[in-house]
Structure 1
Amino acid sequence: MTRLALQDHARLSVAPMMDWTDRHCRAFHRVLSRQVLLYTEMVTSAALVRGGAKHLLGFDAAEHPVALQLGGSDPAELAEATAMGVAQGYAEVNLNVGCPSDRVQSGCFGAVLMKDPALVAHCVEAMIDATDGVPVTVKCRIGVDDQVPGDVLPDFLRRMGDAGVRRAIVHARMAWLQGLSPKENRDVPPLDHGLVHAMKDRFPDMHLSVNGGIASLDAALSHLRAVDGVMIGRAAYHDPAGILLRADSAIWGVEDSCGDPVAAALAMVPHIEGHLARGGRLAHVTRHMMGLFAGRPGARHWRRVLSERANRPGAGVEVLRDALDGVVSAAA
């Protein structure tokens, strides 16, 4: 992997997504791009500090650069969880101030914290004090409920900067905590990428990434003319090759990791064999690979074989190879 500063890797990142960006997903995305910054699923500080769930911190060194995202609102607890993440070897610790789920609201963390920026500032100060130079970042919304984004967002970012945060990721939508489901909160509130772009002029010394509704690598390149970084979530998951396969050359000017999706699938075989040898199931890995051939000949065959056979007891890499045979035949 080319040696870059972490903020350079952050020119493109894959968003933390619950139930999706586990270690197998990250291993797959790393095969597609050596440079993209990867994130864990959100892990609550309470689960780590009070729940003894240290297994949630597990990752493979091959995933680097990889960041840990934490959820919580207790400064001391977040500081302890941050220290645990740093000790585990994560390159960054990120605080979630954007998730709108009911479960997150009831725990007083996620997007609801946009209403209490002073508390968030205390949290990140405590987290920064618990690190040894490892960056602490924040992922937030442009506002929640009846807040005015043009007033709230610059004040929030100013407070984060005063607390020592040097990099922030902004999901360019409001979070409407009453009346919308978490899924609707990802689509219904209108996007305001322009507001996030304007924040770069207001805060030239802060590394700012924009997130939300960015569905192609070309769109990411366009945003990079205005901000420092782009974070992509669902599009990177559902069309990973379309987003990541040529990202290294397009964004960082280095050789791409894989020449094509078939090569990427074959490059996952050692990871799959290792997982199977430890007693895991094929589907634990291949469920993240369903979109690899999105929009390409053979995509339907690929999805059908994996969805029908990968979860069967004893399923091995031969299932992946059978799925690939259909793709290759369709493209011939």
Structure 2
Amino acid sequence: MTQPARPETDISIARRFSVAPMMDWTDRHCRYLHRLLTREALLFTEMVTSAAIVHGDAGRHLRFDAAEQPVALQLGGSDPAELARATTLADAYGYAEINLNVGCPSDRVQSGRFGACLMAEPALVAACVRAMRAATDRPVTVKCRIGIDDQDTEESLDRFADAMVEAGVEALYVHARKAWLKGLSPKENRTIPPLDYERVHRLRARLAPLPVLLNGGLETLDAARAQMAHVDGVMLGRAAYHHPMMLAEIDRRFFGAATPSPTLPAIMQAMADYAGGQLAQGVRLNSIARHMLGLANGLPGARQFRQVMSVDACRPGADTSVFRRALDCVSAPVEA
């Protein structure tokens, strides 16, 4: 199983289903795996700060395999000029869209004055969006929460969204929870603030035809599919990461594809081929294998699969034979 060259993607279609940007998780190795599982869904980079791109090694942060497309770059920052410069540098890499993070609640992000705290400054975010749009012909989008702290999510979210529309944003990804910047940890902010899908539904109805995509608390494809009656697309994060084989159903269930879903043996072989090339470039096997731990979830022998992938892949000199040993631990259908 190989990654064929992809035609130019209709990003409005790809947004029907996306895998959320997740720090330390959705790196290029993770995205390569996810693209083997779904040809159609939109994938996201980890959030990269505009400062890291402008003042650091831009190529290290921005390079990706063309087989991963469609891929959206997520930027973090609050300086319009710096975000514009980062967007200009990113433009040459051919991302399908460039997204601004206005939803991350971590302390580190707040101290840098970006992420969810920017929901209190819609005029500044609008200035950032305008600057980014001036630096690229690619779509510029925003990912946000429904509000922060004591904000009234009706008034404040509408005010924020209106500012984004006026600035020319091309889509809004909305995590259907508030972010409590005072009193909750980033982990708690993923689960404790109550979900309010209906608030996102109302926003989508109000902003139509601007695409509004729903994120937050979606654990199954059935739950995600049900939301498609109310929004333009859905975004899954940790559920898709921990149970990656669910992505093998995406093309059929969300994009109407008639092609067979990829099998576990085919995925393991394709990842072994990919890993072989990466090892030759000095990448450690565990940097790739760590994203594959959930591939056998639900199959007999899944625990042994995870153990081989997590322990053996960390051993000095580990090579792609680890993937075959892991596959031998599970009862999986054999590819025809």
Is TM (by shorter chain) over 0.5?
yes
Residue number among 109, 115, 131 corresponding to 2:114 in the alignment: 109
1:328 shift after superposition: 3.0
Distance in 1 between residues matched to 2:292 and 2:139, nearest whole Å: 30
Match of 2:286 in 1: 283
Q: Deviations over 1:44-99 (max 9, x none)?
A: 00111123443111101000000100000000000000111111111110000000
Contact 1:93-1:136 within 8 A present in 2 as well: yes
1:88 counterpart SS class: coil
Q: Deviations over 1:271-295 (max 9, x none)?
A: 1111111111111101000011112
Match of 1:65 in 2: 70
Match of 1:181 in 2: 185
1:328 counterpart SS class: coil
Contact 1:71-1:96 within 8 A present in 2 as well: yes
Q: Deviations over 1:247-280 (max 9, x none)?
A: 1011111134643223222221221111111111
Match of 2:123 in 1: 118
1:205 shift after superposition: 1.5
The aligned amino acid for 1:118 is A
Q: Find out whether 1:14 has 2:14 as its counterpart.
A: no
Match of 2:33 in 1: 28
Match of 1:190 in 2: 194
Match of 2:213 in 1: 209
Q: Deviations over 1:150-207 (max 9, x none)?
A: 1111111111011001211000000000111111111110100111011111011110
Distance in 1 between residues matched to 2:153 and 2:250, nearest whole Å: 31
Q: Find out whether 1:253 has 2:225 as its counterpart.
A: no
Distance in 2 between residues matched to 1:152 and 1:177, nearest whole Å: 16
1:4 shift after superposition: 4.3
Distance in 2 between residues matched to 1:15 and 1:118, nearest whole Å: 25
Q: Find out whether 1:314 has 2:317 as its counterpart.
A: yes
The aligned amino acid for 1:278 is Q
Q: How does 1:24-63 map to 2 (within 5 A)?
A: 24-63=29-68
The normalised TM-score by structure 1 is 0.96
1:41 shift after superposition: 0.3
1:330 shift after superposition: 10
Distance in 2 between residues matched to 1:311 and 1:235, nearest whole Å: 25
Match of 1:239 in 2: 243
Question: Unpaired segments of 5 or more residues in structure 1?
Answer: none
Match of 1:154 in 2: 158
Match of 1:262 in 2: 265
Q: Find out whether 1:127 has 2:169 as its counterpart.
A: no
Contact 1:72-1:109 within 8 A present in 2 as well: yes
Percent identity of paired positions between Structure 1 and Structure 2: 56
Q: Find out whether 1:271 has 2:297 as its counterpart.
A: no
Contact 1:166-1:205 within 8 A present in 2 as well: no
Contact 2:18-2:234 within 8 A present in 1 as well: yes
Distance in 2 between residues matched to 1:98 and 1:115, nearest whole Å: 11
Q: Deviations over 1:128-147 (max 9, x none)?
A: 0000x200000000000110
Match of 1:90 in 2: 95
> Size of the alignment, in residue pairs?
329
Contact 1:2-1:35 within 8 A present in 2 as well: no
